[in-house]
Every structure is written in C-alpha cells, then in structure tokens.
Amino acid sequence: IFAFLILTTTSCFGITETKKISLEQAILSALSTNPQMKMAILDVEKSKNDIKTADKLQNPTVGTFQNMGRAGEGDPHQIGVEYIVELLKRGKRKEVAKTKSQSMYDNQKFQEYNLVFEVKKAYFDLLLKKSNLKILAEQKNISKEILDSTIKQEQKGKVPKTDVVQAKIAYNRTVMYYNIANSEVISSRNRFNSVMNTSNIEYDTQEEYLNGQFEELLTLKPTENFLNFENIKNYTLSNRYDLLSAQEEVKSAQSKLKVAKSQLIPDIELIGGYSYFTKGVSDNGRFQSGAFAGVNLVNIPLVYRYKPEINNAKLDIQKAQLKYEDLQIDVTRSISDAWEKYTVAKDNLNFYNT
C-alpha cells in the first residue's frame, strides 16, 4: 500500500511550478541541466588537459657547489643545471592520453544519446497513459449514463432488475479501470520528471493525448520502408558510441603496454654550468673561470626490469578486449529485441490503419 501511494501520489515538496513542454523542449532542457551530462562534459575537458600533461617536458634542476676554507683549495666553485631527457617515452604517454580522451568523448556522446532516448521514451509513455485515461473517462461517462437510464427503465417496469445489476457491474468495472489508468498517469508523470531530473518544476507533456498528428513526433513512420536487420546491426556495431568508447579503451590499453616497455629505455641526464676559482683558492692566486659539461645515463633497468608493470599492461589489454566483445553481444541482443518489437508494432498499426 505504501509503495502504491508513493507511485500514485504527486509529491508537493519543493514543487514551485507546473509546466507543459513539447518533446523538443524536454530534450533540450534535459541535455542542459542533467548532472550526469555535465560531468561527462567535464571529463572530456579534463582528458584534454591530460594530453598536455602526458606531453610535458621534465623541469631542470639548478644547483651550486661552493668550497669553504682550506678544504676548497684547488677545487672550483660551480653553478650549473641538470636536465633529464626522456628517450622514446613522451610520445607513448601522449598516445595513451589521446585514446583515453577519445574514449571519454565517445562516452559523453553515448550518454547524450541515451538521455535523449530516455526522455523520448518517458514522454511518449506519459502521452500514451494520458490518452488511455481520456478514453476510459469517456467510457466511464457512457457507462454511468447507461446505468442511470437502466435504473429509470427498471423503475418504470420496462426492464428486469438483473439489467440494473449488470449495468452497475459494468460501471464499477469501468471506474476501476479509470482509477488504475489515473494512477498510471501519475506514475508515468513522476517517471518523466525523474528523467528530466527536476526538483522544483513538475513537467507535463504539451499534448493532452495522442491525436491524429502524433506520427509527426516519431523518428520513423510506421508505413515507411526500412533497412533490413543485418544492415541495421552492422551499422550499429560500427557507429554506436559505447562500442566506439570500448574500442578506444582497447587502444588505450595497447598504448599503455608500450609505455610500460618504454621504461626499459634509459634516460639521458645533461649537466652543464659555470665554474670558477676565487683568488683565495686558486693555485696562482688569481681569479679564473670556465665552464663544465657532462652526460649521464640514468634510470638504467639493471636491477628492476619492470616485469610486473608490463605483465599487468598485457592483462589490461585482455580485459579491455573481453569488455568490448561482451558489449558487442549485449548490443546485438538489444538490436534483435528492438527489431522484433518494432516490426510487430508496425505490422499491428498498419493492420488497423487499413
């Protein structure tokens, strides 16, 4: 009972406005206000910054070496710079970041598509429930008129009392169906507003029921010749954004393996600077100056060979491929189910329109 009351009662808490909107307005409003969409857009922007981060150069180190007292006699003072040059690493990191950014973008487009679909679905469901309620309201009025007429006829002795009983049963059944339909309208309206993700506005469809022009709201006309199932499946598997995102995750995992292997390549450390003797520490008692330069190989993988990182990167490739294959299966099943529902609904509608 409590769950029924929740579903069939419009909450007034926080609702400051009731507004009727068209399907197009509902889609635009949902896209601009939905927090999940906003977060997806922020993730895309963040991934663009990650590309710049992956392509960064190392910052230099500036240092000085100063001798003091007699311990410094014969040794120069030094001011210099150390700079590490990464070999064959930045490009691979950037490649990972680029594929990750593309995956984020595809995910954002999929969420956008999914939100539009959910808004359309909730909008039409509410419109359908309102149309059903309108029909049942008319049937209820007719049933009431028949009941009142039958009672009058029975009072005049023109019909038996059993006719009154039957008319009352029919009227009570119609009232029951009307109440159920009314609760379904409220539930569908709550579902529509849940998809719209609003707290202070209660939205309702602009249309009160499905009229003769409702086909204009459909993406496909029920009488329209459409592509066959195989063409639809192949197109979807090639262009659906969640699958594209999963493909980019596979590429990203493959790029991460390259990054892991690139750690086996040593880096170069460049050293250079200014060197000088003061009068007090020079051999000839005069100020002398010059320069120094050097090159070191650093991060040489002699002790640690990065095998765990490389093996984990290989495992991540397998996981990404399995995720993509699993998603392909789910999408194919979803296409098959949607195709069956569409063809059956189209055939039924065309049958009744003929």
In sequence order, what DSSP letters do the residues of 105-172 get, joined into one string?
HHHHHHHHHHHHHHHHHHHHHHHHHHHHHHHHHHHHHHHHHHHHHHHHHHHTTSS-HHHHHHHHHHHH
> 64-78, 87-101, 327-341: which has the minimum mean pLDDT?
64-78
- For residues 148 and 168, is the Cβ–Cβ distance under 8 A? no
Q: Is residue 323 packed enough to be buried (19+ CB in 10 Å), middle (13-18) or exposed (0-12)?
A: middle
In the chain, what is the straight-line distance between the N-terminal and C-terminal CA atoms, in Å?
A: 44
pLDDT band at 10 (very low <50, low <70, confident <90, very high): very low
φ/ψ (deg, to 5) at 76: -80, 155
pLDDT of residue 288: 86
More confident call, 255 vs 66: 255
Model confidence pLDDT, tens digit, residues 116-159: 999 999 999 999 999 999 999 999 999 999 999 999 999 999 99
Residue 8 has pLDDT above 50, yes or no: no
- For residues 85 and 268, is the Cβ–Cβ distance under 8 A? yes
Which range scores top for mean pLDDT: 65-69, 151-155, 215-219? 151-155
Model confidence pLDDT, tens digit, residues 158-212: 999 999 999 999 999 999 999 999 999 999 999 999 999 877 889 999 988 877 6
What's the rounded Cα separation, in Å, for the pair 66 and 57? 29
What's the rounded Cα separation, in Å, for the pair 273 and 313? 40
pLDDT of residue 84: 95
pLDDT of residue 126: 95
207 three-class SS: coil
Model confidence pLDDT, tens digit, residues 29-44: 999 999 999 999 999 9
Model confidence pLDDT, tens digit, residues 293-337: 999 999 999 999 999 999 999 999 999 999 999 999 999 999 999
Model confidence pLDDT, tens digit, residues 253-296: 999 999 999 999 999 999 999 998 877 677 777 888 899 999 99
Tokens of 267: 């880096």
Interstrand relation of 267-277 and 77-85 (parallel, antiparallel or unpaired)? antiparallel
Give the CA dihedral 21, 26, 29, 33, nearest 10 degrees: 120
Residue 7 has pLDDT above 70, yes or no: no
Cα atoms in the Cβ-side hemisphere of radius 13 Å centred on 132: 18
Mean confidence (pLDDT) of the chain: 89
* 307 contacts: CB under 8 Å, gap ≥ 6: none
Nearest of 279, 239, 249 to residue 104 by alpha carbon: 249
Q: Report which secondary-structure segment, H or E, holds 54.
A: helix 35-54
